[in-house]
Structure 1
Amino acid sequence: MRRLTLAFLLTASTALATELPVRSVTLSSAGLAQIERAGEVPADGDVTFRARTDDVDDLLRSLIVVDQAGTVEGLRLPARDLTGEAFRGLPLQPEDFDSRARLLSALRGQEAEAGGARGRIADAAESEQGLRLTLVTQRGLTTVLLREGDEVKLVDEGLAARVARAAESLAAARAADERRIDIRLRADRARQVAVLYVAGAPLWKPSYRLLVPPMGATPPAGSPTAPTAPQARLQGWAVVENASGSDWDRIRLALVSGEAAAFRQRIYDPITVPRPELPVRIAGAVQVRPDTGGVPIPLPAPAPVAALGGRAFEQSERAAPQAARRAAAPDAPVGAGIADTANPAAGASAEASAGRVAFVLSEPVTIRSGETANVPFLDIRLPAERLWWIQDLSARSPLQAVRIRNTSQSTLPDGLATVYGAEGNEAGVFLGDAEIRAMPAGDGRILAFGRDRDVLVNQTSTTNERVARVALRRGYIALEMVRTDQTSLAIDPRGARGPVVIDMPRRPGATPRFTIVSEGDFGLRHEAMLDGSPQTLNLAYERTMTQSLPLWDSGLGEPILLRWQNFDVEQNLRRLPGGPGTMERLQEILARTPENVPGRADLAAVVESMGELRRLLDDARMKQRTYRSADQVLQRARQAAEDRTGPELQEARRKLNAASRDAEQAGAAADQAWEAWQRAVIALMQRGS
């Protein structure tokens, strides 16, 4: 391989750069990592480290430099488009660095010194003896044969420096997924310097191992030191991935759980602001028209007004989340009766703040770049109780579950728990998986991990209504009804004993008539104790409803104005007070209204009045039918009188007079009966308040 030295003069900084190692990492559940780098920096020394290109946006917005003895001049790093910026304005392209002949050929016309000659580069070509470089000098062309180790020096130092930076950019571009960060400091002595920043990171994922007591477990009797309730052992493990691009060698690791706001903003990318474009104004061309003599000159039209349009641009900036913080739950000794699993090598210290908790490992952790680790961060004992849990009322068997309470001083984050038995036949046996939602200190959770097929559940539903109050109002009866919807659960535990928890839905407007131990997203929670024998639990809701029963159909108008002659009574009989249906409905309500219901006496009086109205209505209907029969006789008599002559006419007129008297008397009787019914209706309508 042939080697050629191109001496591109570049003024380099004489400051020493110290690469700071990672000393501390705090992983947040917001998908961020607070990284702390620290180390000793000499006087007038700078700080450097490498970061993933995708992390530069976060780094630029969150970087903090801790230097008690120095000052910060600023941060430098290559541009996002490193190669494009380095080659901008150069007579070179990245592919020109493929060979020395191609590189020198791309620099044609540039003044250079090589092999004791000086001139402008004309051509370069490889040969068996070496590289033949042709230079244009004051006297003509000269060819220089360059062997290994010979130097070509560009006379233009500025160009040489730019070519050197272009070469450097090519080297950096080969690792396009990371950038070198240089922080320039100024100090008169060596000291400790720390750099903190926040960057994106994979979520740390908690998982739990939960060892639960058996169903029906009770504290040991007769022991003054025995716990007041059975206990479960909860161990927390965290899956941690190092995707930072740097090794974590014996770092301080903290795992934060909280709901911090986290945003991204592309501040590493160059952003150009669009602007309105205005045309270049130029003088109009001079045009001369020949004079054609005097002609009338029209008035000039109004000149149009040119409108210059612009666009408003709005830029929003979101505040970045603060760096993550720390907390943990204290260790507790493993008590009697809990399976003796291995303790973690190191506990976690407890630090907490509002709305967040961190678990800080007390011993250093080493995780190489690209590795995944699973580290224990929690080992505590919690009060626990095995129970059955019914979430779905139609399920044939309840869920197996355990109720735990967080007696630590910090919140337990979300995670999946693998549940094992701790005693008896269940010792060391996998029982199922359970989801633990974030559990604040002092709070409790029910964790379901399977279904108990040995316990049978059967559900039935019934609905009934009862009258709670009757009120007589003007024109209607107001009923206050109580509707009861009851769910009955027949549970056969087949000899097993223990509590059962039932989650019932909320029903807006209904009042539950069962004991509620808690409310939440699950609805209303009820709890009962099963003693081993079949048992039926009745869970009822009551809803109060009002119902109005009108005593008069408002579509008929005012009762006093209703004329039977202009109204088909028989066709509208069910709409009339006393007609079929109304009284029977009231009688049915009265029959199922207990004696002690307020207003029942008023209802009974209305039923009695309805009976009288029916009698009056029937009498009016009968007399209306009598009148219609008499009227038909009258019509026939009138027709007969018109058809007869002579002696027969006298007899026909006599019958006509008699039919007329009968019809008049029947009509008067029908009117009187109808008016009696109307007066009774009006009297009933005027009752009540």
Structure 2
Amino acid sequence: MTGLPIKRMVLYKHGVGYFERQGTFSGDTLTLTFPLTAMDDVLKSLVVIDRSGQVRNIDFATPEDRAALLARGSIQLSNERSLLDLLRDLRGRTVRLTLTGKQGETITGQVIGIDVEDEKPLRRAIVSLYLAEERVVRPFALDDLLRVELVDEKAHHDLSFFLRAAQNDERNRTATVHLTPGEHDLLIGYVAPAPAWRVSYRLLCEDGADGASRCFLQGWGLFDNQLEEDLVDVAVTLVAGQPVSFRYRLYEPQTPERPLLGDVPRPQPKPMARMRKMPAQEYDMMLEAVETMALAAPAPAPALTIETVTDSVRAVAVGEDQGALFAYRVTQPVSVGRGQSAMAPIVGSQISGARELVYNQRRLDKHPLAAIRLKNETDLTLEQGPVTVLINGEYAGEAVLPFTRAGAGFTVFHAVELGVTVLETTHETRHLHGIRLHDSDLLIDEYMLLFRQYTIISTLHTPSTVIIEHHRTAHTELIDTPPPLSEEGFIARWAVNVPAADQTVFTVCERRLLSRSQSISSLTGEQLQHFLRDKLLDEATFQQLSGVLKLYRQIDKARRMIAEHEVEQRRILERQQHLRQTIEPLRSTGEEGALRQRYVATLAQLEDQFEQIARSIAEQQTTIEKLTAQIERRLQRLSALKRTA
């Protein structure tokens, strides 16, 4: 790219890198070349420091591709007929032709054009000049030309522009740094797109004689050299975290456009794609295939120990906390050839850990996962990356290590324990807790009990401990359940011991208090007896409420009588209406007169019955009002006694 080599490189996780070039330079213009895709980031971040001179300005090539640049010129030359195209595009411009022969005659004039024959364009081409002073047009065979000199100054600039544009690199762009004359000690820094660095871990665990586990975490940082130059003795820093970064269009000139208005076609509806859910049968087949692959796994690699790994590879990076970011600074210079990648050990430390079998239905149904619970004691921030787990020198699975700050805990789930099966069942019950009196209602408090039973079946030949991770139900408390080992958020953890080749049942019971109201009038004597039997009511309250219920039953009886009387009244009214319609056409003399008199007497009797029923309804309504007043007085006295009790 330039005579200044890269001496420092900082790589990030989101696709950019910071590069520093350093060195001495002699002259007043320094040309830097960057990939076209990097120009926006370079213009956003480029810094040039001259420690022995001064930077005057920086210019960069106009962001046009080769075709666009060539199209701007008046001279267009093809790859096959460049001389013919040049003479064609010089029409009207002054040139000086030198002819072949002993005399070497030179002719100066304006180019009229060139005539060619398609079969042999170079041998039979004729160029014509207009000699203005002589008012003569002279043709010349192209074979007779020894030299073409551009007398016209604009023609000279146009041809030079075309040749520069033809040399334009489609993939790269240049920036020219203008300096004061003399020697310069330069530092040039800029941000440019770069592949994100990666990290991969190796986790070695060894069981001690006391049953405790020793763990060693080794991490390798991976990065790539996709620059168009070799990296030699470069200081490399790998940064974990997520700094804010974005592309901002700076390189391409922008001319705002006015909006173009018009009719907007209505979009046509598109059919929605359906997501396919894996049937249970396919899931079982997949699980069976996984089990088969596990049984057919190749023999494990030779045993490794923490000591051999520690002695053979030492971490060559130191950690630097940068607030929201964390940097791994590689302490040794790194050399990477163009188009190659490199790995550097950046983490190597013993950390505390414990092996577990963890069951969590939301992670995996039916089987617990083999896991290692760890604490980050490396004093480094661990970037997310894959981890290969080796237990007692043998391959034990893989996982993804999460982004973890120093001192924080994390868990690596690396295998499925198919020798242990966990079955879950749930059920719900409710029981009364208490009763409170409120006006004419009873407020009934009851507990909702949620039971989740874990049946753990082991086919292992040794006893095991399964960590049950239970997702707590909101607004509940644990009851008749051992205290959990820990609770984080809504997850509670219990350790359940399972004998070899046996099964164990563990039950979690959660309780939630619910309240509901019920009108006292809707109670039955049987319900009151139930409340008394469960000691939710004392004898005095029971007697008072029993008396109130008797009054409510009398009210119900009175209301039923009123309903029956109202039915009888409607029957009487319908009969009276029928009699009046029958009487109306009858004459008042003779047989019709006698019949009319009987109907009139019947109407009078019905009217007496109607009035008697109305008096009975009024009496029942009065009774209801008196009973209601008695109920209110009794409930008020009972509420007062409860408040003072």
TM over 0.5: yes
Pair 1:354-2:330 in alignment: no
- Please tell me whether residue 370 in structure 1 is matched to residue 339 in structure 2: yes
Amino acid at match of 2:371: A
Q: Quick one: which amino acid aligns to residue 223 of structure 2? A: V
1:215-614 aligned at under 5 Å gives the runs 217-218=207-208, 220=210, 230-274=213-257, 338=306, 340-341=308-309, 343-344=312-313, 347-392=316-361, 395-421=365-391, 423=392, 427-429=393-395, 431-493=396-458, 494=460, 496=462, 500-512=466-478, 514-515=483-484, 517-520=486-489, 523-530=490-497, 532=499, 534-551=503-520, 577=521, 582-583=523-524, 586-587=527-528, 590=531, 594-595=534-535, 604-605=542-543, 607-613=545-551
The RMSD of aligned alpha carbons is 4.5
8 Å contact from structure 2 (residues 57, 179) kept in 1: yes
Could you tell me which amino acid in structure 2 is paired with residue 207 of structure 1? S
Counterparts of 1:617 and 1:468, CA distance in 2:
31
The 8 Å contact of residues 201 and 217 in structure 2, kept in 1 or not, is answered as yes
Match of 1:209 among 202, 215, 218: 202
| Structure 2 match to 1:304 | none
Query: How many angstroms apart in 2 are the aligned matches of 1:345 and 1:627?
Result: 103
Instruction: Tell whether 2:170 aligns with 1:176.
Output: yes
In the TM superposition, what is the alpha-carbon distance from 1:57 to its structure 2 partner? 0.9
1:634-673 aligned within 5 A: none
Cα distance change, pair 84–605 in 1 and its aligned pair in 2 (3 A): farther
Partner secondary structure for residue 61 of structure 2: coil
Residue 394 of structure 2: SS of its match in structure 1?
Answer: coil
Which whole-Å CA distance do the structure 1 matches of 2:109 and 2:477 have between them?
99
Provide, for residues 311-359 of structure 1, a one-character-per-residue CA deviation record: whole Å limited to 9, x for no partner.
Answer: xxxxxxxxxxxxxxxxxxxxxxxxx963733743651122221111122
Native 8 Å contact 1:133 1:146 kept in 2: no
Query: Can you list the C-alpha shifts for 1:365-388, whole angstroms capped at 9, x where unaligned?
Result: 333333344443322222111101
Alignment counterpart, residue 83 of structure 2, candidates 100, 107, 110: 100
Q: 1:344 to 1:99 in 2, by over 3 A?
A: farther
> Could you list the per-position Cα deviations for residues 21-73 of structure 1 after superposition, in whole angstroms to 9, with x for gaps in the alignment?
2222211112111112222112x343223211010111111101122122212
Q: 1:57 aligns with which of 40, 43, 46?
A: 40
**In structure 2, how many angstroms separate the alpha carbons of the residues matched to 1:389 and 1:165?**
72
- Cα 1:119–1:275 change in 2 (3 A) is farther
The structural deviation recorded for 1:389 is 1.3
Task: Describe the SS at the equivalent of 1:408.
Answer: coil
Say which is worse superposed, 660-669 or 233-242, in terms of deviation: 660-669
Distance in 2, Cα, partners of 1:20 & 1:153: 40
Where is the helix percentage greater, Structure 1 or Structure 2?
A: 2
Q: Deviation string for 1:555-584 (max 9, x for gaps)?
A: xxxxxxxxxxxxxxxxxxxxxx3xxx6215
Matched pairs, number: 551
Contact 1:630 1:662 (C-alpha < 8 Å) held by counterparts: no
Residue aligning to 2:639: 688
Equivalent positions of 1:150-165 (< 5 A) are 151-165=147-161
Q: Shift of residue 660 of structure 1? A: 12
In 1, Cα distance between the equivalents of 2:208 and 2:46? 55
Give, in whole Å, the separation in 2 of the partners of 1:622 and 1:77.
Answer: 101
1:265 to 1:622, Cα distance in 2 relative to 1, 3 A: closer
CA contact (8 A) 1:74 1:183 kept: yes
Q: Which moved more, 1:452-461 or 1:118-127?
A: 118-127
User: For residues 665 and 243 of structure 1, do their structure 2 counterparts lie closer, same or farther at Cα, with a shift above 3 Å needed?
Assistant: closer
Instruction: Report the Cα offset of residue 95 of structure 1.
Output: 2.7
> 1:630/1:457 Cα in 2 relative to 1: closer, same or farther (>3 Å)?
closer
In structure 2, list runs of 5 or more residues that go unmatched: 99-104, 261-303, 580-593, 596-601, 641-645
The answer to whether the 8 A contact 1:208-1:418 is kept is yes
CA shift, 1:206, in A, is 1.8
Q: Which sections of structure 1, spanning at least 5 residues, go unmatched?
A: 1-16, 222-228, 278-335, 552-576, 646-651
Alignment TM-score, normalising by the size of structure 2: 0.73
DSSP 3-state at the match of 2:473: coil
Contact 1:27 1:201 survives alignment (8 Å): yes
Is 2:8 aligned against 1:30? no
CA distance in 2, matches of 1:211, 1:588: 68
Distance in 2 (alpha carbons) for counterparts of 1:508 and 1:432 = 35
Deviations for 1:60-89, whole angstroms, at most 9, x for unmatched residues? 111011221222122233221143564465
Question: CA 1:51/1:583 → structure 2, altered by over 3 Å: closer, same or farther?
Answer: same
Native 8 Å contact 1:22 1:247 kept in 2: no
Deviation at 1:130, TM superposition (A): 11
Which residue number corresponds to residue 4 of structure 2? 20
1:166 counterpart = 2:169:
no
Distance 1:589 1:165 in 2: 105
